[in-house]
């Protein structure tokens, strides 16, 4: 078997056999197939695709088993994770994971870092002093068993083929391939040893998928692919035209997450946390819930009201080496060196707040990465003071910016002023959840 022949076969529209796909994944993992040939194969897939009934399940299975697949069968109950395709102000994992865990469903969560205009769960968690996102697998399993939840980053043992192929996709303009996106996401998530996955597929200006049709295709592909390999999956398509909540950054999003767990905080963040939580409780056969979404929601709302979800988050922080006192004393979170209020230059209605441009403003402030190797300032970010549809008067504050230097504040302000469009009429508001796919 030669990589050359398989590249040519796929280039010409042929369908690869399972062992041929496994050969390519083995070559990516052990280095026996060079980056040039792997890149050529990825480009062939970009144009020719992978058959969703035969090739894609085999490709995913090979990627999944290119490294360690965790065995959580010794932990009672179903294990359920959630994945977001990435957005701006998307801190949902932070309140969601402990909330679902305290309601009786185990949540083993392997998360990623931010890149470009989208934020990353690991960067937010690392803004909590001492919080360790790189833990030994044995400790990860222990916390899932004892606390019902653990949040870590991808280890070297999990889906190593994906790390190689993702880097090549990033360098060769083949990222936007639905089968490659789906298999990349699922190879990491299913390696956690989960029984089911809930997807939050973002749609709109601040999302990777700009159109509803593209988001629907990706969601449908991942749901069907999970089913093909014996895992449960549902997906919510959610609006990402404007940022979620008021906070965009790292420490500021941790504080907003704590607010949600106090049964407070922005309505959209709370609602999406509950909607995804309902899906996770149903997928996990949560005690006392059955298949009733109303019972699931009431159970989640009770855990927010009685403080048990907040206490579980504090236990999680402490167990992963973090300073749990920051829950009661937010000043223990990283604080910015400089703050600046951005004022409206005219009166009217905030008709648009472009999520992608707001995310890029956060990157300019130091809260995100333009390149993978960039360092993140955990204290940098912004707090929105106006939301789409709000009335605005000239001179009113649109947002408060946080950064380490005046130069970064200048760049962030310039981006934000372009993102915020003030008109005379409120724009039509899309619903938060656009569709459910199961």
Q: So which residues are the catalytic ones?
A: 83, 162, 169, 184, 188
Classify 143 as helix, strand or coil: helix
Cβ neighbours of residue 410 closer than 8 Å, sequence gap 6 or more: none
The position carrying tokens 């360790």 is 132
State the Cα–Cα distance between residues 181 and 49, nearest whole angstrom: 11
Classify 111 as helix, strand or coil: strand
Dihedral sign for Cα 244, 247, 252, 255, please.
negative
CA neighbor of 359 nearest in space, from 256, 242, 271, 437: 242
State the Cα–Cα distance between residues 383 and 248, nearest whole angstrom: 6
Token couple for 69: 């697949």
Task: Return the CA Rg of the chain.
Answer: 22
Pairing mode, strands 338-343 and 397-403: antiparallel
State the Cα–Cα distance between residues 272 and 433, nearest whole angstrom: 8
Beta-strand runs (E) in 21-85: 80-84
Classify 128 as helix, strand or coil: coil
Token couple for 215: 């988001």
CA neighbor of 289 nearest in space, from 279, 280, 299: 299
Apex CA 215: angle with CA 154 and CA 92, to 5°? 50
Token couple for 40: 């050529």
Dihedral sign for Cα 156, 71, 296, 102, please.
negative
């Amino acid at each position: 078997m030669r990589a050359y022949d398989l590249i040519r076969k796929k280039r010409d529209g042929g369908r690869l056999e399972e062992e041929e796909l496994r050969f390519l994944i083995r070559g990516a993992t052990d280095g026996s197939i060079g980056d040039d040939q792997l890149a050529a194969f990825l480009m062939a897939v970009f144009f020719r695709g992978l058959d969703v009934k035969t090739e894609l399940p085999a490709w995913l299975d090979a990627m999944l088993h290119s490294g360690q697949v965790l065995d959580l069968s010794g932990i009672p109950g179903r294990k359920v994770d959630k994945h977001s395709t990435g957005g701006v102000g998307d801190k949902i994992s932070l309140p969601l994971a402990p909330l679902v865990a305290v309601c009786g469903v185990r949540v083993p969560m392997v998360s990623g870092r931010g890149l470009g205009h989208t934020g990353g769960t690991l960067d937010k968690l690392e803004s909590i002093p001492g919080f360790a996102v790189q833990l030994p697998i044995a400790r990860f399993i222990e916390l899932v068993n004892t606390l019902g939840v653990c949040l870590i980053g991808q280890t070297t043992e999990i889906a190593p083929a994906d790390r190689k192929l993702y880097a090549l996709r990033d360098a060769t303009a083949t990222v936007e391939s639905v089968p490659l996106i789906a298999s990349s996401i699922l190879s990491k998530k299913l390696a956690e040893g989960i029984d089911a996955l809930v997807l939050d597929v973002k749609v709109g200006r601040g999302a990777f998928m700009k159109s509803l049709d593209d988001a629907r295709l990706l969601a449908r592909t991942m749901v069907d692919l999970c089913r093909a390999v014996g895992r449960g999956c549902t997906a919510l398509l959610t609006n990402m035209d404007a940022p979620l909540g008021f906070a965009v950054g790292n420490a500021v999003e941790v504080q907003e997450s704590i607010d949600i767990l106090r049964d407070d905080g922005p309505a959209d963040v709370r609602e999406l946390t509950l909607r995804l939580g309902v899906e996770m409780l149903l997928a996990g056969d949560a005690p006392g819930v059955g298949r009733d979404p109303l019972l699931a929601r009431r159970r989640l709302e009770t855990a927010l009201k009685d403080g048990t979800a907040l206490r579980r988050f504090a236990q999680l922080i402490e167990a992963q080496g973090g300073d749990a006192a920051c829950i009661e004393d937010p000043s223990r979170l990283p604080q910015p060196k400089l703050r600046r209020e951005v004022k409206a230059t005219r009166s009217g209605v905030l008709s648009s707040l472009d999520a992608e441009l707001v995310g890029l403003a956060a990157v300019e402030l130091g809260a995100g990465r333009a390149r993978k190797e960039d360092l993140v300032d955990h204290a940098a970010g912004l707090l929105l003071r106006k939301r789409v549809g709000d009335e605005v008067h000239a001179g009113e504050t649109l947002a408060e910016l946080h950064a380490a230097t005046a130069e970064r504040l200048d760049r962030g302000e310039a981006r934000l002023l372009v993102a915020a469009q003030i008109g005379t009429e409120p724009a039509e508001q899309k619903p938060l959840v656009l569709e459910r796919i199961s």
